[in-house]
């Protein structure tokens, strides 16, 4: 049942939780920090996943699957990598339980202690590179381009549905290359693939940039990121692609013999996006009525709601409703006919608006008489009338238009909430007033960056690739071509 949801302006966090729960995306579970993804939420994930999977395969990658458990000794091979993830690792120490004869309680059997503890993967670089070592011997084995769809565990102190949970679903790509240049191109390629997914399917137009050394993935030499601004004007990292250099190759001694017969370390990348994308989707498009899902990933693109007074109208209206449902379905549209007559039309309108279904078609006796239907689009809430005759065509056109408009609207949102600043004071004003991304010239040190975060609470989300103009760094006062985006972030 759809209860009232908290308005965004009143309390954005509560709005978010209300929408996630009332729209049936996910629930809290019995396990702290872990969520249950419900069918409707999982259907969104499946659509995102299927699309991205296709794109990953089209760019020459193959899916595989690696173990959930990683020996601690593997994990500690790459120094920065351990440091980055140690604080949130779940550790498996026993392989059996027993009934304690004294207390009567179930406990890990002291006799069944693992000689080496395992951690539950927070990411799979180490186990994968340990494996790649056996797969790669010659330049002929390269490039090696592998992806896996998996769950990972990071024991988060402060969970939030979809955005930060102890366990989450994602895809992690891992590739090995003969040259640094090729690996760098791979990392950038997948960065672009993510951008395409976000723009063309999620209708989100994130900024593309590089992470500063302090914000890089643990073990990476360069991290490419996609940063979007949510409706509360906080930034969210939607995905990252890393150039790993030879760090993991060296840690796991992954070498190949090149065409000259010399042994060389390989060059690596890794890249991932997670169920966090669903969080981004909710917070990028949603309004006080609930979700807005872009047509291309909406589990239901069109909902059809028949309206009738019981009796003679019923059959007539349902006949037409059934026939247009079938026609739209045959046209490749994901359509749901809601002919449940225990719920009234008004209730359904609200329910499907909450669930973010892009298009609603209502038809009653009057419409049937006139050969039309009432069509309402979720993004603008605009209502119109379509003739039944060429309905397929019109609906396909409308779905395309909604997809496009949502992207345009999101681009506008980013543009309007990106504010150039030319001094620390201006930056503070922008951050304190919570105006979104501050755009600044930056040439500071990691220490300056730390100070920035202490003073404002905001972080450098990314360094923009565009270095076409020169300006003055807001901390050092030096001339620089490097521009950064600064914002409060999730």
Which range binds RNA by CB under 7 A, 158-166, 256-264, 292-300, 412-420?
Answer: 158-166
Among 141, 374, 411, 448, contact with RNA (rule: CB under 7 A): 374
Q: CB 353 → RNA: shortest distance, Å? A: 5
Q: CB 82 → RNA: shortest distance, Å? A: 13
Q: Give the whole-angstrom CA distance, residue 410 versus residue 451.
A: 31
Q: What is the 3-state secondary structure (H, E, C) of 200-233?
A: HHCCCCCEEEECCHHHCCCCCCEEEEEEEECCCC
Footprint (CB under 7 A) of RNA, residues 462-481: none
Contact string 383-412 vs RNA (x = CB under 7 A)? x-----------------------------
Q: CB 13 → RNA: shortest distance, Å? A: 4
For RNA, the closer of residues 310 and 468 by Cβ is 310
For RNA, the closer of residues 139 and 349 by Cβ is 349
| Residue 265 interacting with RNA (CB under 7 A) | no
| Residue 457 interacting with RNA (CB under 7 A) | yes
Q: Is the peptide bond before 112 cis (omega within 30 degrees of 0)?
A: no
| Residue 3 interacting with RNA (CB under 7 A) | yes
Q: CB 165 → RNA: shortest distance, Å? A: 5
Q: CB 346 → RNA: shortest distance, Å? A: 2
| Residue 307 interacting with RNA (CB under 7 A) | yes
| Residue 364 interacting with RNA (CB under 7 A) | yes
| Residue 28 interacting with RNA (CB under 7 A) | yes
Q: Give the whole-angstrom CA distance, residue 125 versus residue 250.
A: 13
Strand arrangement, sheet containing 235-245: 62-63, 144-153, 167-177, 267-274, 235-245, 222-229, 207-210, 459-463, 483-487, 437-441, 418-420
Spatial neighbors of 226 by CB under 8 A, at least 6 apart, are 191, 194, 195, 198, 206, 207, 208, 237, 238, 239, 240
Among 387, 422, 425, 453, contact with RNA (rule: CB under 7 A): 453
For RNA, the closer of residues 146 and 307 by Cβ is 307
| Residue 350 interacting with RNA (CB under 7 A) | yes
Q: CB 46 → RNA: shortest distance, Å? A: 17
| Residue 276 interacting with RNA (CB under 7 A) | yes
Half-sphere exposure at residue 197, Cβ-oriented, CA atoms within 13 angstroms: 27
Could you give the angle at which helices 39-58 and 180-196 cross, rounded to 10 degrees?
140
Cα R_g (the chain), whole angstroms: 26
Could you give the angle at which helices 12-22 and 276-285 cross, rounded to 10 degrees?
110
Q: CB 172 → RNA: shortest distance, Å? A: 10
Q: Give the whole-angstrom CA distance, residue 31 versus residue 9.
A: 31
| Residue 286 interacting with RNA (CB under 7 A) | no
Check if the beta carbon of residue 288 is closer than 8 Å to that of residue 10.
no
Q: Give the whole-angstrom CA distance, residue 306 versus residue 372.
A: 13
| Residue 19 interacting with RNA (CB under 7 A) | no
Contact string 76-115 vs RNA (x = CB under 7 A)? --------x--xx---------------------------
Check if the beta carbon of residue 359 is closer than 8 Å to that of residue 302.
yes
CA distances (Å), origin 287, targets 15, 229, 355, 379:
9, 15, 11, 9
| Residue 202 interacting with RNA (CB under 7 A) | no
Among 41, 143, 159, 295, contact with RNA (rule: CB under 7 A): 159
Among 130, 147, 212, 240, contact with RNA (rule: CB under 7 A): 240
Strand partners, 302: 335, 359
Q: CB 431 → RNA: shortest distance, Å? A: 12
Q: CB 62 → RNA: shortest distance, Å? A: 23
Q: CB 135 → RNA: shortest distance, Å? A: 26
Among 71, 108, 117, 345, contact with RNA (rule: CB under 7 A): 345
Check if the beta carbon of residue 155 is closer than 8 Å to that of residue 31.
no
Binders of RNA: how many residues, by CB under 7 A?
A: 64
Among 78, 172, 367, 443, contact with RNA (rule: CB under 7 A): 367
Q: Which residues bind RNA (CB under 7 A)?
A: 1-4, 13, 17, 28, 31-33, 84, 87-88, 154, 156-160, 162-166, 168, 217-218, 237, 240, 272, 274-276, 289, 307-310, 314, 341, 344-347, 349-351, 353-354, 362-368, 374, 376, 381, 383, 453, 457, 489-490
């Amino acid at each position: 049942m759809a209860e009232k949801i908290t308005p965004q302006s009143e309390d954005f966090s509560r709005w978010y939780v209300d929408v996630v729960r009332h729209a049936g995306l996910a629930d809290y579970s019995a396990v702290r920090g872990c969520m249950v993804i419900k069918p409707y939420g999982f259907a969104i994930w499946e659509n995102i996943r299927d699309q991205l999977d296709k794109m990953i395969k089209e760019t020459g990658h193959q899916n595989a699957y690696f173990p959930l458990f990683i020996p601690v000794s593997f994990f500690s091979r790459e120094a920065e990598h351990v440091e980055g993830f140690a604080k949130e690792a779940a550790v498996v120490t026993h392989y059996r339980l027993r009934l304690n004869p004294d207390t009567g309680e179930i406990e890990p059997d002291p006799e069944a202690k693992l000689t080496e503890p395992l951690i539950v993967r927070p990411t799979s670089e180490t186990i994968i590179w340990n494996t790649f070592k056996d797969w790669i011997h010659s330049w002929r084995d390269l490039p090696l381009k592998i992806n896996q769809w998996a769950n990972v565990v990071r024991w988060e102190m402060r969970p939030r549905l979809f955005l930060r949970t102890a366990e989450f679903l994602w895809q992690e790509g891992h590739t090995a290359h003969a040259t640094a240049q090729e690996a760098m191109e791979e990392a950038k390629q997948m960065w672009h693939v993510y951008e395409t997914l976000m723009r063309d399917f999620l209708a989100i137009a994130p900024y593309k940039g590089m992470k500063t050394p302090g914000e890089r993935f643990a073990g990476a030499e360069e991290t490419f990121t996609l940063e979007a601004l949510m409706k509360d004007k906080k930034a969210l990292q939607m995905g990252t692609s890393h150039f790993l250099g030879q760090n993991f190759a060296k840690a796991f001694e992954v070498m190949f013999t090149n065409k000259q017969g010399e042994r060389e370390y390989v060059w690596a990348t890794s890249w991932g996006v997670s169920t966090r994308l669903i969080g981004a989707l909710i917070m990028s498009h949603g309004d006080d009525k609930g979700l807005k899902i872009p047509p291309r990933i909406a589990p239901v693109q069109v909902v059809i709601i028949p309206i009738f007074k019981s009796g003679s109208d019923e059959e007539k209206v349902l006949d037409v409703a059934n026939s247009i449902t079938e026609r739209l379905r045959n046209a490749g549209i994901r359509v749901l006919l809601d002919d449940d007559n225990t719920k009234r039309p008004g209730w359904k309108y609200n329910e499907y608006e909450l669930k973010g279904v892009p298009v609603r078609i209502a038809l009653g006796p009057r419409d049937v008489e006139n050969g039309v239907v009432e069509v309402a689009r979720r993004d603008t809430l605009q209502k119109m009338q379509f003739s039944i005759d060429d309905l397929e065509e019109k609906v396909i056109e409308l779905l395309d238009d909604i997809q496009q408009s949502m992207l345009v609207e999101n681009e506008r949102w980013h543009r309007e909430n990106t504010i150039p600043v030319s001094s620390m004071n201006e930056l503070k004003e922008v951050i304190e007033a919570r105006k979104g991304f501050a755009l600044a010239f930056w040439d500071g040190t990691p220490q300056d960056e730390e100070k920035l975060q202490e003073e404002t609470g905001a972080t450098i989300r990314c360094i923009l690739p565009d270095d076409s103009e020169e300006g003055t760094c807001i901390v050092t006062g030096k001339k620089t071509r490097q521009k950064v985006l600064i914002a409060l972030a999730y």
